[in-house]
Amino acid sequence: KAATRGEPSYVWRAGQERRFQMVRRWVELADRRVLDVGCGIGMYTAAFRRETPHVFGVEIERERAIEARERAAGVVQAPGERLPFPDAAFDVVFSHEVLEHVADDRACAVEMARVTRPGGHVVVFVPNRLYFFETHGIFWRGRYHFGNVPLVNWLPTPLRDRLAPHVRAYTAGGLRRLFARLPVRVVHHGQIFPGYDNVVARAPALGRALRAVTYFLERTPLRFFGLSHLLVLEKL
């Protein structure tokens, strides 16, 4: 289950805070109605409550949904492909590293757009196919091997999907195609590098150097090799 559904954020560190501040940079949150799709145990859900009391979450795993409700009361158990909310119910719909795990990512994208009000925003983080590592592990000879595996996502798609059938990774074009023909427009699409929190904890100087170098690269064409896409859409 951990391989196929992924692991949520269990702690709040600099990397998560950095991503949250990116959301704040692109989207107004104060007093807005926010939905966290695939909220896990509610770490980002709790962060949104700093900005607004109107925070809701959806999580497919019952145990995680129960824990998330300790951080935001409006959490329900449901799949992202069938959001239990009416049309245009939210100002901001957020999804953090979730689309790569759902059974039908296009259906989930359609649902996120559906429950966003006109003028509201959809904010998505997903893995980047051009990143140097597959961070979700691979299957080899019928067994799952956890860890960062280099260059898997650079392989031809049929071979890549044999090694990592449990998780998707997106090219820039592939991510945008998920939302093609939906009533949305792209406000921002970029790539970001990791937070390096584990590296900073073990080797602070190295971690700080990695942050300085790769965060600078986010302002250059080399950002295309970042860990994740950040896509911000406006509902028309």
pLDDT band at residue 2 using 50, 70 and 90 as cut-offs: low
Region of residue 101 (left: phi > 0; alpha: psi -120 to 50; beta: else): alpha
The per-residue pLDDT for 3 is: 59
Residue 58 phi/psi, 5-degree rounding, is -130, 130
Taking only the tens place, the pLDDT of each residue in 176-216 is 999 999 999 999 999 999 999 999 999 999 999 999 999 99
Q: Which of 227, 216, 169 lies closest to 194 in space, CA to CA?
A: 227
Q: Which helix (H) or strand (E) holds 224?
A: none
pTM of the model: 0.95
Per-residue HEC secondary structure of 147-201 comes to CCEECHHHCCHHHHHHHCCCCCCECHHHHHHHCCCCCEEEEEEEEECCCCHHHHH
Look over the chain and give the mean of its residue pLDDT values, rounded to a whole number.
Answer: 95
Q: Token pair of 208, please?
A: 């700080």
Q: Which of 213, 233, 217 lies closest to 225 in space, CA to CA?
A: 217
Taking only the tens place, the pLDDT of each residue in 136-189 is 999 999 899 998 999 999 999 999 999 999 999 999 999 999 999 999 999 999
The per-residue pLDDT for 9 is: 73
Provide mean pLDDT across the span 66-89. Answer: 95
For the chain, the distance separating the N- and C-terminal CA atoms, rounded to the nearest angstrom, is 37
**Is the dihedral angle over the CA atoms 117, 90, 24, 5 positive or is it negative?**
negative
The SS3 call for residue 74 is: strand
